Amino acid sequence: MKAVYQHQTVDILVKEGILSRLLEHLDPHRRYFIITDQIVHHFYHDYLDQIQNHDVFIMMSGEEQKNMDSILQICKEMLTKNYDRSDCIIALGGGVVIDTAGFVASIYKRGIDYINIPTSLMAQVDSSIGGKVGINYLGYKNQLGSFYHPLKILIDPLVLSTLNKQEMTSGMCEVMKYAILFDCDMYDALLHHQYQLMELIRKCVLYKVEVTTTDERDVGKRQLLNFGHTIGHAIEAKYQLPHGISIAYGMYYESRRQDVLDLLLSYGLDFSISFDGLEEYILKDKKRIKDQIMQVKILDIGKAILVEGDIHDYFTE
């Protein structure tokens, strides 16, 4: 599949076994700087040996690594090893690696090519597509960043076999978001736990491509994908829960719909924790312009619209 954006056409491949035949998808004459994290490296470092001319930068795992220190360390390593604009970064990992590596690619020597190889379900259905790259700053989510698309996105569902249960659930929450927003058949399949993972990934990728190519700069339809994110990002920052799970809580608290709650409960989400004290984080939402923020309203499962509202609505309701 090709996703056509204003300044970049992105090749996207969803196929089992990509990682074990990585060379088929790379240019043998290029030098690659691979950015990954400790856990992903532990499971998949053998596959990297296929690439002749490469270096590997291993980040610690975890959301707290999505910061300026990581960016500077990576840039320093690339400069020391004389990477130039003809070289290419490979981001091999979950959303944290993908967002961080993409941000480096967007600023290193004013921008170099990069390839995304997402290894978490979250990154396969969401973070790797659409060109939003960036880091957290001063304890708030995604405050520094840019739009910068990869050359390619290589999605190998086989790597999900090593993902732990909590991270798999986190990715499924993002899948549920697409179902609630766009697809009542997908909602039913998810509610009854009757689906094929490969098919779900393909469908989510198609939705993400369709929305982000129509509205690349997040000024219209793409904002629907922010469903659950205002409260979700606040929960993620304050309570350090996995991204998808935080967004799932946000989807319920932003919509207060029983059908949304039913779906989330069926995947074991626990709604007993208190979400007091989120105000400070909600007010730091980067989508806020003065007191106004675009809110997503679910009219019915599969039917969502954008409504402009006051950011204070979130915690005064």
Applying CB under 6 A, the residues found at the interface with ligand NAD are 37, 39-40, 43, 61-63, 66, 93-97, 99, 119-120, 122-123, 126-127, 130, 132, 142, 159, 162-163, 167, 170, 242-244
- Residue 258 CB, nearest approach to ligand NAD (Å): 26
* Cβ 76 vs Cβ 42: under 8 Å: no
* Cβ 160 vs Cβ 168: under 8 Å: yes
| CA 12 to each of CA 68, 119, 134, 289, 291: distance values in angstroms, whole numbers, following the listed order | 29, 14, 21, 33, 38
Rank residues 33 and 41 by Cβ distance to ligand NAD and give the closer one.
41
- Residue 56 CB, nearest approach to ligand NAD (Å): 15
Task: Give the closest residue to 62 by CA, choosing from 89, 37, 99.
Answer: 37
- Residue 225 CB, nearest approach to ligand NAD (Å): 8
Rank residues 5 and 30 by Cβ distance to ligand NAD and give the closer one.
5
The CA distance from 235 to 245, in Å, is 9
Instruction: List all residues 6 or more positions away from 240 whose beta carbon is below 8 Å from its beta carbon.
Output: 63, 64
Rank residues 88 and 150 by Cβ distance to ligand NAD and give the closer one.
150
Q: Which residue is nearest to ligand NAD (CB)?
A: 95
- Residue 292 CB, nearest approach to ligand NAD (Å): 22
Rank residues 121 and 293 by Cβ distance to ligand NAD and give the closer one.
121
Rank residues 88 and 175 by Cβ distance to ligand NAD and give the closer one.
175
The CA distance from 165 to 144, in Å, is 30
Question: What is the SS3 assignment for 144?
Answer: strand
- Residue 132 CB, nearest approach to ligand NAD (Å): 4
* Cβ 151 vs Cβ 229: under 8 Å: no
**Residue position matching structure tokens 């993902």:** 163
- Residue 125 CB, nearest approach to ligand NAD (Å): 9
The CA distance from 143 to 307, in Å, is 23
Rank residues 106 and 295 by Cβ distance to ligand NAD and give the closer one.
106
